[in-house]
Structure 1
Amino acid sequence: MTVGTGYGGFAVTVNSRIAALVVLVVLCLAALPGHAQSGPVKIAVLGDSLAAGYGVKPDQAFPAQLQAALQRQARNVTLLNHGVSGDTTAGGVERLDWMLADKPDIVLVELGANDALRASDPAGAERNLDTIITRLKAAGVTVWLAGMLAPRNYGPEYAAQFDGLYKRLADKHNVPLYPFFLDGVAQEPALNQPDGIHPNPKGVDVVVDRILPFITKNLDDYAASVRRPARP
């Protein structure tokens, strides 16, 4: 065996071992959550008719329009519409397991409008929303809260009790709060259906436009704080 052949064989052996080591390191890094290829962030909207899209086509409903707006920003998200027309905060509690079966990463809680329309006790709505947030956080889900305002014809005392419950819950659980889901749309005839309660397609567009900065900011915060493994 010549010297040249001997060194050549040595180089082949060293290079093979280096290559194997590189492959091992790459495989180990790929197994770490921070280096895995992430799937879309799944955002569920747990809500009532305002989420369900009462009176509008499915692709005109709030979750569909919010997903479209986020995808125009190249956000990798999937919106899950868990809105049920007529639902109350108590109904939201009852539907939690059903919603969690979809394994959302984030839940936007949009409930309380029907409690207010029925002049239900604000303390009961607060307890229900407290239960919802507590259970979602215990399941490892990030929670965002959308607030609602009581009808003003119920009087200032009722309005103060109801309106304030969202801020109290947001502070208690340290969750982001969007103060009023129908901001810019409520009591605007051109943006609502004939019932004066549910947004028409133009109204939905305004709701999405108003809430979008809140959503994108909290999506950025979520991405910065959570290391998620790749979805299958």
Structure 2
Amino acid sequence: MNTRSGWRILFFRLLGILAIAVVLPLVIQAVRIVWFSGRTAYTLQPFTQNTLAARIRILFIGDSTAVGTGAASNQQSVAGWTGKYWPHIYINNWGENGLRLVDLVDRFQPVLIMPYRAVIIQIGGNDILRFSDLAEMEKNLTIVIERAQRIGERVVILHSGNVGLAPVFIWPFDWILTQRTRAVRDLYMRTAKETGAVYIDLFTERDNDPFFRKDDVPDFYGPDYLHPSGLGYHWWYTRFRQTLDKAYVHFD
């Protein structure tokens, strides 16, 4: 065997190894997503609370996290926990599975009939997962916030925690999605400051994330290992409530 032939064989072997190293994680990740998503029923309806003669009205809009997908009941969503702790308020909910910011811009065309004490926007997780353009996200988020401000005294926004820590994701996708979540978090925080909205920061690092404790995965995550469970949403609600208190947003 001459030197040139030997190098050629080595090159193609290394190329094959590289191809396997790239393709195999993609295949495994795709199988995990399909497998775990099949364990979740996307049939929950958004939580609403039609309290008679309520003086305080709030509106939830957004994606599957506004619906409460992953929880056993819509009463365990952020909206549901809000209704439990504030049973005297009226809650409207326009949550819908699968929405991105661009979709919410199309759907959210509010007309002021009766003002809301607050409009809570839960959107952004799908934009993280689908790698929506950040500049377009910023533009669309600003549009949604400005529309919400027409009908609500205060506007509150939240998207997700550290998506890369969801157990459904393997390396390197977990790392990539953590970086992606950081970028979207920075965008939301900046936009909230510029528009006067209240941002609920759900991001935590791996070492401090209660969702990432291996023994607690069945408790904090839904069956798809991506969406929160009822307990996970309650943790979100706790951060939600703490931030609202600091921002002097009250529903009493």
TM over 0.5: yes
The CA RMSD measured in Å over matched residues stands at: 3.1
Structure 1 stretches of 4+ moved >6 Å: none
Residue 27 of structure 1 corresponds to which residue in structure 2? none
Aligned-partner SS, 1:171? helix
Q: Distance in 1 between matches of 2:97 and 2:125?
A: 11
Residue 161 of structure 1 corresponds to which residue in structure 2? 183
The answer on 1:57 being equivalent to 2:69 is no
Query: Contact 1:51/1:84 (CA < 8 Å) preserved in 2?
Result: yes
TM-superposed deviation, 1:140: 5.3
Q: Distance in 1 between matches of 2:76 and 2:64?
A: 13
Cα 1:195–1:179 change in 2 (3 A) is same
The answer on 1:205 being equivalent to 2:234 is yes
Q: Distance in 2 between matches of 1:181 and 1:104?
A: 27
Residue 178 of structure 1 corresponds to which residue in structure 2? 200
Cα 1:99–1:165 change in 2 (3 A) is farther
TM-score (norm 2): 0.61
Q: Distance in 1 between matches of 2:203 and 2:96?
A: 16
The correspondence of residues 103-182 of structure 1 with structure 2, limited to 5 A, is 103-139=115-151, 141-148=153-160, 149=162, 151=164, 152-154=174-176, 158-180=180-202
TM-superposed deviation, 1:94: 1.7
Cα 1:51–1:187 change in 2 (3 A) is farther
Cα 1:139–1:197 change in 2 (3 A) is same
Residue 82 of structure 2 corresponds to which residue in structure 1? 66
Q: Distance in 2 between matches of 1:54 and 1:223?
A: 25
Residue deviations 1:140-184 (CA, integer Å, cap 9, x gap): 542112244553532776444322101110111122211127995
* Range that drifts further, 94-103 or 82-91: 94-103
TM-superposed deviation, 1:101: 6.3
Cα 1:102–1:63 change in 2 (3 A) is farther
Unaligned 5+ runs, structure 1: 1-37, 225-232
Q: 1:194 aligns with which of 223, 230, 234?
A: 223
Residue 89 of structure 1 corresponds to which residue in structure 2? 101
TM-score (norm 1): 0.66
Q: How many residues align?
A: 182
Cα 1:159–1:63 change in 2 (3 A) is closer
